[in-house]
Amino acid sequence: MEKTRFHKHVAIYLRISQEKRNENEETLKNHREILVEHAKAINCTYDIYGEVISGGKSNIEDRLELQRLFNNIENYDAILCIELSRLSRNGLISQTVKQYCMDFDKPIITPFYEYDLANNENDRLMFDLGSLIASHEHGVIGKRSKINKIQMSKAGLHVSGNVPFGYVRNNETKKLEINDKEAKIVRYIFDLHSSGLGSFKIREILNKEGYKTKKNNHFELPTIKRIIKNPVYKGTIVFNDRKRKKKDGKFVYEIVETIVVDKAHPWIISPEEWERANQDCLERAKNARQFREKPAIKTGYTMLKDLIYCGVCGRKMTIRKDNKNTSTYTIKRCEYLLIGGEKCQNCGIKLEFVENEVYDELQEYKNKLTESLRMIQLNDETKLKNQLTERLVKVEKKLKDVLRQQKRLIDFAVEGIFTTEQIREKKQELLTLQQNLEKEKKDLLNEINNPSFENITKNIQGVIHSIENLKNMNTVEVNQTLKTFIKKIFYTRVIPAELLVKSTQNKQRRYYPYQLEFEYKK
């Protein structure tokens, strides 16, 4: 490749498709090595952006690493990739890439050619032609793959998704065969279920006894429920032919045809036993709807619906209606597992206690906003900047912690503490958090350097007005209003083990304190 411009620092973008069986971590590693060697050959330093996702996806929101590259594009002299199709096989995203490169005057480099999109009309034409071919190829491959999958499914072959736990796929016959070690665990799950145990207890037993999933993870509730409901274990192949449609402004997949083939492969659970287990699931669900506590989504709104998050593991917490008193709601104990496999210890509490504290916190928040408004009206720019600077320090501290966690992921991978899948999921989670924090930092810096008192005043007055009128709103209106300026409320109540063994009527246990941490929208 003839190099047309001098580059010091480039962004290496790597992507492998999650749909192609022949593309895996090894492919990503090979591409990385090729591009790193090329960057060194042209005397460039580099940063790497890599993700595992279909190139045909049309939503830029799904392309987290590509978005991160766009956010940092001014830091680089060029984008380096294996070929244009690695940037995207979707015409819309390809044009977005092209526009960014033109707006910021950043060429795209491959080991074979350099596309100077901002200054060379021929390069723009070649880019458009290459993107058109990649998009067309993606469509043709997709249609051919779907037809092939339908025919293979009708023949009782395993063609879609990952190989189910308990089986291996014979690559010659393309049939599922029993994995004896995993099949024993599947039978154990059905045995525990048939003895009357629910998914929570089954999860606890499996993890306590040291059983692991195919990816060497601890068993989670959805995994156990999927195993019990999956007809593959009675020897049946089910394939759903789906069509992508846009509905209410969003893309959804609608099932066009369902192909069901019985006796497609050896069963782990006899069809009769599988049917009994799933009929039992239906009966339990029916009884649960009648007698157990019901999710708030089925019984109406609460003022904190979708706002309460676990202060230990960060997941959204469930609010349920009390079956003894239909006017009482409870924040349920966190049901998730931590990375080490142990259960999250965050305990629940009556919702009304938390609601009352939220109202108290909002009054304090209103007082702080009122003081900020007073400072603005007095044109006390110094005090306002100090407040913004304090917020900036907190954001920078969180950002450093995220970057530190990203570096630790490498150590975890080397030491084998996490699986490749866990590393990938955690990395994407941290990258998303990093993006949000970097944007917040950028916004704060803009406010500090160029404070727009008019906009700030209008926003503060809006929040103050909302807080003052909460008492005049119904529950739905309160919930919707809170969501306009509160992002998350982190709730933490970890009761010591010595208190948990006491009766729920024990005063120490019953009134054990909790903490709330508010994350406001900026």
Other Cβ atoms less than 10 A from the Cβ of 315: the count is: 13
pLDDT at 53: 76
Distances (CA, A) of 290 to 283, 294, 323, 328: 11, 9, 9, 17
The three-state secondary structure class of 31 is: helix
Residue 424: pLDDT above 70? Answer: no
| CA distance linking residue 354 with residue 363, whole number of Å | 14
| CA distance linking residue 99 with residue 101, whole number of Å | 5
| CA distance linking residue 488 with residue 313, whole number of Å | 13
Residue 245: pLDDT above 90? Answer: no
- The pLDDT confidence band at residue 266, using thresholds 50, 70 and 90, is very high
Residue 379: pLDDT above 50? Answer: yes
What pLDDT, in 10s, does the model give residues 56-94?
555 677 788 888 999 999 999 999 998 888 887 777 788
- Lowest mean pLDDT segment, chosen from 19-33, 142-156, 410-424: 410-424
Report residue 492 as tokens. Answer: 């933490």
Per the listing, tokens 């739905």 go with 476
Element (H, E) at 46: strand 45-52
Distances (CA, A) of 234 to 89, 171, 215: 39, 21, 23
Starting from the edge strand earliest in sequence, which strands make up the sheet with 9-16, in order?
Answer: 45-52, 9-16, 78-80, 108-109, 114-115
- The pLDDT confidence band at residue 187, using thresholds 50, 70 and 90, is very high
Other Cβ atoms less than 10 A from the Cβ of 170: the count is: 13
- Select the highest-mean-pLDDT range: 223-237, 251-265, 402-416: 223-237
- Lowest mean pLDDT segment, chosen from 60-69, 462-471, 492-501: 60-69
What pLDDT, in 10s, does the model give residues 269-327?
999 999 999 998 888 877 665 544 444 444 567 899 999 999 988 889 989 887 665 67
pLDDT at 21: 46
| CA distance linking residue 190 with residue 227, whole number of Å | 9
Residues 365 and 519: beta-carbon distance below 8 Å: no
Q: Smallest Cα–Cα separation from 126: which of 175, 84, 170?
A: 84
